[in-house]
Chains A and B, each alone.
Chain A
Amino acid sequence: MGYKITYDNAGNARFYSNNSRKLPKWAITLCCAIMLTAVLIYAGGGKFLRNFFMPGVSDAALSALAEDLRSGESLLDAVSAFCSEVVNNAKKPD
Chain B
Amino acid sequence: MRKNQINVRFGVSPFACIMLAMMLLILPIKWIFAALVAALIHEAFHAAAILICGGRIDTVAFGSGGAVMEACQMSRGKELLCSLAGPIGGLIMILFARWLPRIAVCAAFQSFYNLLPVYPLDGGRALRCGTEILIPKYADRICGCMEWLALAGVSVLAVYGCFCLKLGVMPLLFGAAFWLKIKNTPCKESHLKLQ
Contact present for A75 and B94 (CB under 8 Å): yes
Contact present for A23 and B14 (CB under 8 Å): yes
Tell me which residues across on chain A come within 8 A of B29, comparing CB atoms. Answer: 42
- What is the total number of residues of chain B having a CB less than 8 Å from a CB of chain A? 30
* Shortest beta-carbon distance from A70 to chain B in Å: 5
Main secondary structure of the interface of A (DSSP, over half): helix
Contact present for A34 and B104 (CB under 8 Å): no
* Shortest beta-carbon distance from B39 to chain A in Å: 18
Contact with A along B118-157 (1 / 0, CB 8 A): 0000000000000000000000000000000000000000
A35 CA to B23 CA in the complex, in Å?
11
* Shortest beta-carbon distance from B188 to chain A in Å: 28
The chain B residue with its CB closest to the CB of A71 is: B98
- What is the total number of residues of chain A having a CB less than 8 Å from a CB of chain B? 40
Q: Give chain B interface residues in 167-188, CB to chain A under 8 Å.
A: 167-170, 173
* Shortest beta-carbon distance from A61 to chain B in Å: 11
Q: Give chain A interface residues in 53-94, CB to chain B under 8 Å.
A: 53-57, 59, 62, 65-70, 72, 75, 78-79, 86-87, 90-91
